[in-house]
């Protein structure tokens, strides 16, 4: 299953830290790409550096028209999964969504316009309490990949962690 993430709307005061975390979660939890509206372009450099060090080919694209992007992804047969606390419970829909081939997960940074709810194939709640797009995205990706995302090998990594119960073990492949 290919999953891309679309984040729409930044707050008036740019929340670059949250933006970065949304991108890092997308990458680390198995998504292939993030499309960001009104985000600081430096995010692309940050994620390129992360890819260089820790591997993989996660993509970041800054977009200027999220409505057009939604329409275009729909025409490419992506199913739109909009994360909102008002949606159907993830517990009730995860099995069905797992059968889809291509997913565009949509998260908001502020109030999400009504048309997103209408365009979505699934409006999905990660619990019916307000929390955060970072947490909601992490849970969605984990439910859809069922934990397998953590076995994924990130190709061409310069550094690879060797999991250990104590301390830190890191293999530096750039000198190996
Ligand atoms: N009050 C805002 C609204 O009406 O959309 C909520 C903004 S919230 C800080 C930012 C984003 O987090 C939401 O757009 C949604 O994608 C996600 N989110 C927050 N709580 C959620 C929940 N319980 N289930 C699913 N997504 C959630």
Distance CA 74, CA 95 (A): 21
Write out pLDDT tens, residues 66-92.
999 999 999 999 999 999 999 999 999
On whether residue 36 sits in a domain, the answer given is yes
Q: Whose CA is nearest to atom 3 of ligand 1?
A: 111
| Partners of 108 in the β-ladder | 8
Q: Residue 96: which CATH number?
A: 3.40.1280.10
Non-local (6+) Cβ contacts of 113 within 8 A are none
Supply the pLDDT for residue 54: 98
Does 155 map to a domain? no
Residue 43 in any domain: the answer is yes
CA–CA distance from 61 to each of 81, 99, 112, 153 (Å)? 19, 26, 20, 23
Specify the residue for token string 């953590």: 150
In degrees to the nearest 10, what's the CA dihedral of 72, 74, 78, 79? 150
Q: Which of 117, 146, 130, 166 is nearest to 3 (CA)?
A: 146
Answer whether residue 104 is part of any domain: yes
Structurally, the chain folds into a number of domains equal to: 1
Its domain, for residue 116, covers 2-149
Ligand 1 centroid to 9 CA: how many Å? 12
| Ligand 1 pocket check for 108: Cβ under 6 Å | yes
The answer as to whether 140 is a domain residue is yes
User: CA 66 to CA 112: how far, in whole Å?
Assistant: 12
pLDDT of residue 37: 84
pLDDT digits (tens, 9 = 90+) for 84-126: 999 999 999 999 999 999 999 999 988 899 999 999 999 999 9
Model's pTM, two decimal places? 0.94
Q: Which residue has a Cα nearest atom 22 of ligand 1?
A: 85
Mean pLDDT of 134-157: 97
What are the φ and ψ backbone dihedral angles of 124, each rounded to 5 degrees? -120, 130
Is 18 contained in some domain? yes
Segment 18-58, tens digit of pLDDT: 989 999 999 999 999 999 987 888 999 999 999 999 999 99
């Amino acid at each position: 299953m290919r999953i891309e993430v679309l984040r729409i709307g930044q707050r008036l005061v740019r929340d670059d830290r949250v933006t970065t975390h949304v991108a890092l979660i997308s990458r680390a939890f198995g998504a292939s790409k993030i499309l960001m509206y009104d985000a600081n372009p430096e995010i692309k450099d940050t994620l390129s550096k992360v890819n260089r060090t820790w591997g993989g080919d996660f993509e970041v694209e800054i977009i200027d028209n999220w409505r057009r992007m939604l329409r275009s992804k729909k025409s490419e047969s992506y199913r739109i999964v909009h994360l909102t606390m008002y949606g159907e419970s993830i517990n009730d829909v995860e099995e069905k969504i797992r059968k889809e081939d291509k997913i565009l997960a949509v998260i908001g940074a502020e109030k999400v316009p009504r048309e997103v709810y209408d365009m979505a194939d699934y409006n999905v709640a990660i619990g019916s309490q307000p929390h955060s797009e970072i947490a909601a995205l992490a849970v969605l990706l984990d439910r859809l990949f069922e934990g397998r995302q953590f076995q994924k090998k990130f190709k061409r990594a310069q550094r690879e962690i060797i999991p250990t119960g104590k301390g830190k073990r890191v293999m530096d492949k750039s000198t190996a």
